[in-house]
Structure 1
Amino acid sequence: MDKKFSNKAINFLKKEGFYVILFICLCIVATVALLTAKNNKDQSAQLQKSNAIEQKQAKQTAKTDKNPSSTYDNALQVKKNSRTSANAEQKTSKEVANSMSTSFQKPVEGIIARGFSEDPVYWNSTGTYRPNLGYDIQTDLGKPVFAAMDGKVEEVNTATQDGVEIIIDHQNGLKTVYSNLDPNVKVNKGQMVKKGSVIGIVGKSTLRSAYEKYGNHLHFAVLKGKEFVDPGKYIKY
């Protein structure tokens, strides 16, 4: 009986085998198509969800740009204020520098007879060579002498080789020295003076340059710290 059943099965496969295989292939194709369609549907749904999220974020960004936060405004204000402050400081520093370079008034009306020199120069009065650490300003006897800038009278010396001498501390690192004055000075030690105020008159009290060819003069010097510097940095004749 088994042999007979087997023969029938073999005969069936021989006759209908093609259709069986075709049916199996169709089932496989259908299964693959179904799976592919499902996968495409899932991807489409994911893409739509992603697009929706991007659109929502774009709307939020546009709203933020239209209405900036107070923090952003504050940051801009701080940045603007910082720039304004820096510009103001630069302007102030520049104004101070300009003021320092042009703030001296001429101590006396006249002309420069002997300029500043750190190298030794010849002096007729003593027949020697020595530096001239200031200006010798040729002028008339009795000419008024002015404070070059606001300050405090530090010393009034009446017995120096350069004659009667007044030293004014301008309290900014600079001091001015006025020598060869008449003994009848107009200020006292410790007195506060204003720029342009009369502190004395040109005299003949110097020993060191009494016999120079240029005659009557005011010796004017500038101290920066403890060093004499060229007065030409602060006044122009």
Structure 2
Amino acid sequence: MDEFNKGPENSEGNNKIRNPIINKVTRRTRSITDKDGFYVILFICICIVTTTAVWVSKNNFDKANNLQSLDYLQFAEGYYDDIENLEEEEESKDVTLIEIDEKESEETKSEETDKELTQDTEDKGAETPEEQKTKVTSAQSNSASEELVVTTMGQPTVGNLSMDYADSTLVYSKTLDQWTTHYGIDIKANEGAAVKVVLDGVIKSIERDTDYGILITVDHGNGLETKYGCLSTDAMVTVGQEVKKGDAISGIGKGAGIELADGPHLHFEVIKDGKNVNPKNYLPKFK
């Protein structure tokens, strides 16, 4: 029993003996752990620094490559621009030379033409001052003659305008019941009223026309003629007869041919150099 009771005391003594050993081991373990932690932290820092340095170096290298590529592209663009400018300058020079050659060629041709004309004039003989004066006088005479015709032509009969001149437009024809051209004017007048010559002239023709019935043409010279249609008689004048302005050559008929439905009237035309013209440009104004 005594030995049994001493057991706990011996156990406490053993614990006291063991505690210093355990404490020593613990201190050593902590010391080792503290040293290992330091090295681990140091290793991690070295890794971070190394990684950062590598990344920075790579980034700088990429930037340098990009700058070199950009410089190369700019250099290439400038090079090709210079080539294009040189080509344009060469083309401009070529065009200028071509224009100069063409201009010189035209001037040469013009000089040759002038020489040929001068030679022809010398061969044929130049016009004398008298010949030139005659031409000018003739032109002035023709112009004055036309102006005189316009201002001195008389009315072919007394009446009112019933159908106008129409070469580029159309007028309505009662007889044909359609729109048509009309190369003269119609003057509505009383049946049997006198039809007179508007200018001095010669009776050129007397005919029975299918369109305008009895038709008399008077030649006034200088390419001017007048025609009188839808007349009542052809017995008052003869072909070749000279007539004076205001002479009666026939009377107003009832209408004929393509103007039969228009009633009594005079169909009057003016022909200049073979072409119909508007008679109102030659006649006095209608009231």
TM superposition score category, shorter chain reference: 0.5 to 0.7
Superposed structure 1 runs of 4+ greater than 4 Å apart: 88-95
Q: Deviations over 1:102-127 (max 9, x none)?
A: 12110001111111111222211111
Residue identity over aligned pairs, in percent, reads 29
Alignment length (residue pairs): 154
For 1:98 and 1:227, locate their aligned partners in 2 and report how far apart those are by CA, in whole Å.
Answer: 18
1:180 aligns with 2:237: no
Gap regions ≥5 residues in structure 2: 1-133
Gap regions ≥5 residues in structure 1: 1-84
Which of 211, 216, 225 is equivalent to 2:264?
A: 216
The TM-score normalised by the length of structure 2 is 0.48
User: Measured at CA, do residues 172 and 93 of structure 1 come closer, stay the same or move farther in structure 2, by a change above 3 Å?
Assistant: closer
Counterpart of 2:148, as a letter, is S
For 1:174 and 1:158, locate their aligned partners in 2 and report how far apart those are by CA, in whole Å.
Answer: 22
Equivalent in the alignment of 1:16: none
Equivalent in the alignment of 1:162: 212
1:135 aligns with 2:185: yes
- In 2, are the aligned partners of 1:117 and 1:134 still within 8 Å (CA)? yes
Equivalent in the alignment of 1:9: none
Which of 106, 110, 126 is equivalent to 2:159?
A: 110
**SS across alignment from 1:181:** coil
User: Measured at CA, do residues 201 and 136 of structure 1 come closer, stay the same or move farther in structure 2, by a change above 3 Å?
Assistant: same
- In 2, are the aligned partners of 1:134 and 1:221 still within 8 Å (CA)? yes
**SS across alignment from 1:222:** strand
Map 1:12-161 to 2 at 5 A: 95-118=144-167, 119-161=169-211
For 2:254 and 2:246, locate their aligned partners in 1 and report how far apart those are by CA, in whole Å.
Answer: 22
RMSD of Structure 2 on Structure 1 (CA): 2.7
Which of 192, 197, 202 is equivalent to 2:242?
A: 192
Q: CA deviation at 1:97?
A: 4.5
Q: CA deviation at 1:89?
A: 9.0
Q: In proportion to residue count, which structure has more helix? A: 2
Q: Looking at both structures, which has the greater relative contact order when contacts are Cα pairs under 8 Å and sequence separation is at least 6?
A: 1
- In 1, are the aligned partners of 2:156 and 2:197 still within 8 Å (CA)? yes
**Largest Rg, 1 or 2:** 2
Q: Deviations over 1:64-93 (max 9, x none)?
A: xxxxxxxxxxxxxxxxxxxxx9xx999867
**SS across alignment from 1:209:** helix
The TM-score normalised by the length of structure 1 is 0.58
Q: Deviations over 1:165-211 (max 9, x none)?
A: 00001111110000000134311111111111110001125121111
Counterpart of 1:139, as a letter, is A
**SS across alignment from 1:129:** strand
**SS across alignment from 1:183:** coil
